Amino acid sequence: MTPSSASTAQAPNNDFYAAHDKLYVATDCIIFGFDDGDLKLLIFKRRVEPDSGIWSLIGSFVKIDEDVDEAARRVLKEITGLEAIYMEQSKTYGKAERDPGYRCISVAHYALMRINDHDRELTQSHGAFWYTLQEIPKLALDHTEMVSDALDKLRRRARYQPIGFELLPEKFTIPQLQKLYESIYQRELDPRNFRKKVLSLKVLVKLDEKDKSGSKRGAYLYRFDSEKYQELLESGYNFEI
Amino acid sequence: MTPSSASTAQAPNNDFYAAHDKLYVATDCIIFGFDDGDLKLLIFKRRVEPDSGIWSLIGSFVKIDEDVDEAARRVLKEITGLEAIYMEQSKTYGKAERDPGYRCISVAHYALMRINDHDRELTQSHGAFWYTLQEIPKLALDHTEMVSDALDKLRRRARYQPIGFELLPEKFTIPQLQKLYESIYQRELDPRNFRKKVLSLKVLVKLDEKDKSGSKRGAYLYRFDSEKYQELLESGYNFEI
DNA sequence: GATTTTAAGCGTTTAAAATACGCTTTTTAT
DNA sequence: ATAAAAAGCGTATTTTAAACGCTTAAAATC
């Protein structure tokens, strides 16, 4: 039997295809980026038959001698060209009927990246596009649920771990950081209180440069100081934005 | 090839055993209970060879036509006799070398139950014992890591969802509830502030009975009102203990 | 070149929540 | 009778969050 028309991952080629005869393990990646003041998701439109035109997350089967998280990193590298990306396991999807083609469980991971870092030609060659959260079309299989779950986890984690910085360039302004959190939580924040809160954590280092792209006046650039953050953690502080 | 000496789950019998030839999917359960003022974990000492004497979590392979969470529920029922238990997916363990016997990934779930509800004969017949967190011996494979991860998740979730009540009997006193939270967070709480906080949530119903087991004076029994809790959630309130 | 506009940046006030802790009550043990 | 111990109620203090006023810098407009 051939893979289902809705399936998006490739079956390992060291084995025959067989529906409900063998249990496959795959990984799917929910790739978040931030650009232009918006949180975005990288999704793929298949350009070849079967399934041409179907939007989905990118994924792959886990190889027989490969760690599951290694498989997720392999997928990320294949698609973005990047290796050092923040990645976190999200959830495992194991309904027997979730993929009509195979019996396949998928270990979803979400990743955070700086959109400008990645290899645009590479992603384009895979038929990949960045979509804002509001624009995301209906996705294949249970991928819509995967995105929604990953977003929940991202939101929760962003509250107690400074993962937001993984989505911004090295140098960023406070207003940019605020825009990021606003797009993660989908609600507006008071700029004065946000600034106060984020500076009170003492994990940002103010630079002597300004970024003029966002306003006439320009805003000071900062960088995240992970050493200070480590000290803060070790002293028992509970980071929270 | 036969299963590794360290493996604790049973291979599906509709297939041959083969090391690193086939990727198996299993589930392991981290079963928490609360009794005697202490949070406890249900673990198993194998009584038969191979692996006799090895402590581990209980688990099973996922059947070819079975949802992964269904497999976890099956395991829970087999071991405790209980079906309606709170269960949550914890994390998936997918290192290629995590089990020397098979290539096997495991989707861990944690469960919360009332120790007195379960079938003691059944658990004993499986060689199961309840251990407090401090007493837990070294466990097979990566099971120690599984317990530690599950405990982290339980702690986080207990902060914003009232899952603590899953561990207490229907009727409980405020001091009992406090003891529970103290044993989850492993730190002491002020009884006066705890009472104030928990009552301010308005999700407890005071009963006309007292429990005299904990003190001379006795303490009023309460029950958790899940309808009130639902209302609270729907009104946008963010439950937090 | 003065004026308007806009976001950046700094500050204060008010409200709410968390923490610390005093005191009375009820009951058993001495 | 009295001491002991947990239950239960209350208040004061500190900390944190939310609301909002005002100045500053620099480009755009008149």
Model pLDDT, residue B48: 67
CA distance readout (Å), B47 to A133, B8, B126, B128: 53, 12, 9, 10
Model pLDDT, residue A232: 83
Rounded Cα gap, residues B126 and B31, in angstroms: 14
Closest-CA residue of B relative to A157 is B156
Record: contact A20-B64, CB cut-off 8 A: yes
Model pLDDT, residue A238: 75
User: Given the DSSP bridges, would you call strands A23-35 and A58-61 parallel, antiparallel or unpaired?
Assistant: antiparallel
| Percent residues over pLDDT 70 in chain B | 90
- Helix then strand then coil, % of chain A, to nearest 5: 35, 30, 40
Rounded Cα gap, residues A203 and A241, in angstroms: 12
Residue B78 tokens read as: 């087999």
pLDDT beneath 70: ranges in chain A: 1-20, 48-50
Rounded Cα gap, residues B144 and B30, in angstroms: 10
Q: Which residues pair with B35 in a beta bridge?
A: B38
Model pLDDT, residue B7: 42
Closest-CA residue of A relative to B98 is A67
Model pLDDT, residue B120: 87
Model pLDDT, residue B20: 57
Rounded Cα gap, residues B187 and A172, in angstroms: 39
Selection from B164, B167, B146 nearest residue B155 by Cα: B164
Q: List bases, strand D, within 7 Å of protein CB.
A: 4-11, 17-21, 24-28
Q: How high is the mean pLDDT in each 10-residue block of chain B (241 residues)?
A: 39 43 92 92 82 89 95 95 94 94 94 89 90 93 96 94 93 96 95 96 94 92 94 81 82
Contacting residues for B116 by C-beta, under 8 A, at least 6 apart: B35, B169
Partner residue opposite B94 with nearest CB, options A69, A96, A103: A69
Record: contact A65-B103, CB cut-off 8 A: yes
Partner residue opposite A96 with nearest CB, options B24, B66, B107: B66
Element holding A139 (H helix, E strand): none
CA distance readout (Å), A117 to A53, A62, A209: 27, 26, 21
Handedness of CA B95, B99, B101, B102 (dihedral sign): negative
Model pLDDT, residue B234: 82
Contacting residues for A126 by C-beta, under 8 A, at least 6 apart: A44, A58, A78, A79
DSSP B72: H
> What is the per-residue pLDDT across B182-234, written as a single tens digit (0 to 9) for each?
999 999 999 999 999 999 999 999 999 999 998 999 999 999 999 999 988 88
Rounded Cα gap, residues A56 and A1, in angstroms: 22
Q: Tell me if B64 sits within 8 A of B108, measured CB to CB.
A: no
Model pLDDT, residue B116: 85
**Tally of CB atoms within 10 A around A238:** 7
Q: Tell me if A122 sits within 8 A of A81, measured CB to CB.
A: yes
Model pLDDT, residue B27: 97
Rounded Cα gap, residues B128 and B110, in angstroms: 16
Record: contact B67-A22, CB cut-off 8 A: no
Rounded Cα gap, residues B51 and B88, in angstroms: 28
Model pLDDT, residue A48: 67
- How many contiguous H segments (helices) and E segments (strands) does chain B have? 6, 10
Distance A199 CA to C10 C1' (A): 13
- Work out the minimum CA distance from A77 to partner chain B, whole angstroms: 19
Q: Tell me if A223 sits within 8 A of A203, measured CB to CB.
A: no
Q: Tell me if B88 sits within 8 A of B157, measured CB to CB.
A: yes
Model pLDDT, residue B233: 84
CA atoms within 13 A on the CB side of A22: 16
Max CA pair span of chain A: 64
Model pLDDT, residue A22: 86
Q: Tell me if A180 sits within 8 A of A39, measured CB to CB.
A: yes
Q: B16, B92, B156: which to substitute to probe chain A, counting the most A Cβ within 10 Å?
A: B92
Model pLDDT, residue B38: 92
Q: If interface means Cβ-Cβ distance under 8 Å, which residues of chain B face chain A?
A: 20-25, 62, 64-70, 89, 91-92, 94-96, 103, 105, 107, 156
